[in-house]
Amino acid sequence: MNRDDATPLYQQIARQWAQLIHNGTLARGEKLPSVRTLARQHGVAATTVVQALHWLEDARLIVARPRSGFFVASRPAAVPALREVVAPVRGPGRPREVSVDWLGQRILGNEPPAGLLSLSGGTPGLDLLDAERLRRAVARAVQRHRHLLCLYPSTTGQEEARRALARYATGLGCTLDPARIIITSGCMDGIALCLRAVTQPGDVVVLESPTHFSFLEMLQSLHLRALEVPTHPRHGLSLDALQLALDTQPVKAVLLVPTLSNPLGACMPQGERRRLVQMAERHGVAVIEDAVYNDLADSEEMRRSVKSWDANGQVMLCHSFSKTLAPGLRLGWVEAGRWSDAVRQLKTMQSGSQSAILELALADLITQPGHAAAMRQLRERAGARMQAAREVIAAHFPHGTRVGNPPGGLLLWLALPSGLEALRLHQACLQEGILVAPGTLFSAGGRFRNGLRVGLGGEWTPAHLDGLRRIGQIASRLMQQPQLQAA
């Protein structure tokens, strides 16, 4: 067994057995070795084996039979697929002033209160990232470049870092000029700069529906109107609906997450991406592409960006390393196409620049030979976590629940059975100390009342799978209780 330091031992053992079950090495119904045998076999304490067995049990891969031991479950739990979230495309509604009043922030917060079990975030935690590798890169950068702490850094970022990013962008299918890359303080900072560069207050911006709640908050704070366009849970933004929007509304920009959209986890097919660029060009509309999850997508095909189809600078590519490498570096970047000058000017005026030391540490990290392997490992681990979570959902959520099957990432979108309001479930879970995101957060128009976003980010423990099971149980309980009228 290849042990690593970041994943708890019991999880490494559990995953090894999960793999043996998934690939058929262990047959359905077969008995597992005893705790004592397993402990000896893996050279670990019995308690570690027990933890591993509980993890497998939570994932419904094995069952315990009293006084007999553990057996491979007779068949894997069935996971009902997510249907289209919206009815067949009728086109978008009217643009609306966004008035979400920071609902997303108020419900999910920046930091969940201590003691709350969070199943709301999609960012990998300490157990999936490599703090020591990061430390070494930062220590090296400050040792070599201490004088940069005494200088205002370049607004667009250190040249060495921009070159490293251009090289990195080949993995997104892009050939970029380092001179046109602008390093930002995270992806949202980049998106805000792009929106400000291409809009005036009152302008209309197309969003996916459902969409990331922070996009709604951002449109509100920039006094922009949102046009929410139906989005398929697997294939992303409906281009037919978008075409209707472009034909009938004064749209200035389309802001979307083409790969592993938030919250759906949808991935737009490459043919559609190409068509999106053509439509945007024809209508003179900016495409603001948030590519923050691309590295988490299972296939190379899906990691290719919309920007890779962009010959004329119509796409503004926004990216960061917060979801894959180091949320704490606070670095992202933008290639803003035709609007590069405007973005650079806004950035220079407002926030100036990021720390050159951290930019150079980032350049070091993403050009290290081991970086691609680290990304592969991250995807594999996220995939195992996702699989375990989907199985718990299939087994413990009420009948009629449907769940997405995104090709990567750490976010799952659920459609609860009709009659079960996600906001009510959210509140009931909160009372039991569990945080999960109700679907209404992801629309300015109060849609997705039975949607639920489950986040598998952060440090993952047996308590989290248990928490997920408890959410299912609470949902089942609520299904049996008539909803009380609000006073």
Contact with a copy of itself (CB under 8 A): which of 5, 132, 177, 247?
132
Pairing of strands 251-256, 286-290: parallel
In angstroms, give the least distance from the CB of 307 to a copy of itself. 22
User: In this structure, what is the dihedral angle of CA atoms 141, 320, 299, 118, given to the nearest 10 degrees?
Assistant: 110
In angstroms, give the least distance from the CB of 105 to a copy of itself. 6
102 in contact with a copy of itself (CB under 8 A): yes
Longest dimension (CA), the chain: 71
In angstroms, give the least distance from the CB of 381 to a copy of itself. 14
Q: How far apart are CA 295 and CA 304, in angstroms?
A: 9
Considering only residues 412 through 471, tell me which ones interact with a copy of itself, judged by CB under 8 A.
none
Considering only residues 158 through 187, tell me which ones interact with a copy of itself, judged by CB under 8 A.
185-186
Instruction: Using the rule CB under 8 A, give the single segment among 245-253, 319-327, 378-386, 389-397 that binds a copy of itself.
Output: 319-327
- The closest alpha carbon to 371, from 383, 363, 382, 381, belongs to 363
In angstroms, give the least distance from the CB of 389 to a copy of itself. 21
Instruction: Using the rule CB under 8 A, give the single segment among 124-132, 225-233, 237-245, 446-454 that binds a copy of itself.
Output: 124-132
Contact with a copy of itself (CB under 8 A): which of 36, 94, 135, 282?
135
Query: How would DSSP label each residue in 342-406?
Result: HHHHHHHHHT----HHHHHHHHHHHHSTTHHHHHHHHHHHHHHHHHHHHHHHHHHSPTT-EE---
Contact with a copy of itself (CB under 8 A): which of 28, 146, 282, 477?
146
Contact with a copy of itself (CB under 8 A): which of 147, 175, 369, 399?
147
155 in contact with a copy of itself (CB under 8 A): yes
Considering only residues 345 through 404, tell me which ones interact with a copy of itself, judged by CB under 8 A.
345-346, 348-358
99 in contact with a copy of itself (CB under 8 A): no
Q: Which is nearer to a copy of itself, 52 or 346 (CB)?
A: 346
Contact with a copy of itself (CB under 8 A): which of 64, 142, 279, 395?
142
Non-local CB neighbours of 321 within 8 Å, separated by 6+ positions: 329, 331, 332, 362, 365, 366
In angstroms, give the least distance from the CB of 96 to a copy of itself. 18
* Interface with a copy of itself: number of residues (CB under 8 A): 61
Give exposure, 139-165, as e/b (b: 16+ Cβ within 10 Å).
eebbeebeebeeeebbbbbbebbbebb
What angle is formed at CA 377 by the lines to CA 117 and CA 257, rounded to 5 degrees? 70
CB-neighbour burial class of residue 197 (10 A; exposed 0-12, middle 13-18, buried 19+): buried
Q: How far apart are CA 170 and CA 317, in angstroms?
A: 13
Residue 228 parent element (H or E): strand 225-232
In angstroms, give the least distance from the CB of 146 to a copy of itself. 4
Facing residues of 254 across strands? 206, 287
Considering only residues 195 through 224, tell me which ones interact with a copy of itself, judged by CB under 8 A.
196, 200-201, 214, 217-218, 221, 223
63 in contact with a copy of itself (CB under 8 A): no
Q: How far apart are CA 369 and CA 361, in angstroms?
A: 15
Per CB under 8 A, residues contacting a copy of itself are 102, 105, 110-111, 123-126, 129-132, 134-135, 138-139, 142-143, 146-156, 185-186, 188-189, 192, 196, 200-201, 214, 217-218, 221, 223, 322, 326-330, 345-346, 348-358
